[in-house]
Structure 1
């Protein structure tokens, strides 16, 4: 199984949870696959555009919040009311705020106007729709939260599902898989042959 296939499989449950939060409780497999593919491509677009802006702005692969914001703008995450040329024209025609009683008020008005699309996106993220997504995913407080060591712990749906289906814990059942920790290396014993291990077999082959 390739890395792309694994990432596609890990993205599918998130898409299912979002659909469930939106009120869709069933869908054709082809629809789920299409939405998962669109989600993965959108995330890839955000990542590649963020890296591109990071190199273009400060020649560094580590992105800043500005790089992420510009990438989200490229990906259409913000609902802009003006084109780039219109924004540039308005900025060029603006008069200096100057000093005085109304200067700060005008500055605040311009700031609110410039960041309107970002504020709308923040309001959408913090709105009821996304709260429902977080609730279904297990990221909000609820009466069913697990208590470990006397403290309430917020669990995402994947961790809760793993603990539900694993009586011995994550360290044993999922060890050596993409959902758990790496497996420890150990010798493999070969039974029913002239050698007991792969190392002995390699020595025997070289001696022939």
Structure 2
């Protein structure tokens, strides 16, 4: 729930940048869930490509690019079959002469075709749409922040998460967010059990093991006594020697 709550402001900033200034809570929840599932799918695809390409869980930029293509971030201009046929029938680069930069220009043209989807994504990140999202989120420096100088350094605007933490943090970050992903790790303390002879889980586990061991020993002892009684019990002969021999 904490990660979902942290993702909600991002969805709100994107909606505000797109021109939506109000929405029902159910709509925000649905969009947040869609974004969380999409990010999870992107991470799963990246891990799968990392395992298939170099048998390592540490992904490279190539694995991320392939995962983004699988998830629809990069839209190819041509189909995979068309790309394979074009690659099979086009003239190899070795056959282009190097004079006057003919081979270099052909190589640059092919690289531009192969990376067209990536360049479009980079242009979107650098474009006005993403800039508006960053402005709404408070990541772009304002004129007031740029005009203040302290020790030859410009003050940087704080992101929304830092602002929210300072706004709702009345007792200090060390105590409020301790034990969560937003704060420092919490110290492990023993869990005490109330209403019983044992005061901790370790003590309860030791007592339970001891009771189980005693019950097992008692069962084995009773089993041996029953066997001994059966073997040592005399048979009634009633004075008949033939029956005694049997």
Return the TM-score normalized by structure 1.
Answer: 0.80
Aligned mate of 1:27, from 14, 23, 28: 23
Q: Mark the CA change 1:114 to 1:188 in structure 2 (over 3 Å): closer, same or farther.
A: closer
The question of 1:111 aligning with 2:111 is answered yes
| Equivalence map 1:65-144=2 (5 Å) | 65-97=61-93, 98-99=96-97, 100-101=99-100, 102-142=102-142, 143-144=144-145
| Equivalence map 1:163-178=2 (5 Å) | 163-178=166-181
Q: Mark the CA change 1:153 to 1:184 in structure 2 (over 3 Å): closer, same or farther.
A: farther
Query: Shift of residue 164 of structure 1?
Result: 2.4
Aligned mate of 2:41, from 14, 39, 45: 45
Provide the aligned C-alpha RMSD in A.
3.3
SS at match of 1:43: helix
The question of 1:54 aligning with 2:57 is answered no
Comparing 28-37 with 173-182, greater Cα deviation is found at 173-182
Contact map agreement 2:17 2:133 (CA 8 A) in 1: yes
Query: Shift of residue 80 of structure 1?
Result: 1.7
Query: Shift of residue 108 of structure 1?
Result: 0.8
Comparing 80-89 with 159-168, greater Cα deviation is found at 159-168
Larger radius of gyration: 2
Structure 1: unaligned runs, 5 residues or longer: none
Q: Mark the CA change 1:64 to 1:177 in structure 2 (over 3 Å): closer, same or farther.
A: closer
Answer 1 or 2: higher relative contact order, Cα 8 Å, separation at least 6. 1
Q: Mark the CA change 1:64 to 1:126 in structure 2 (over 3 Å): closer, same or farther.
A: same
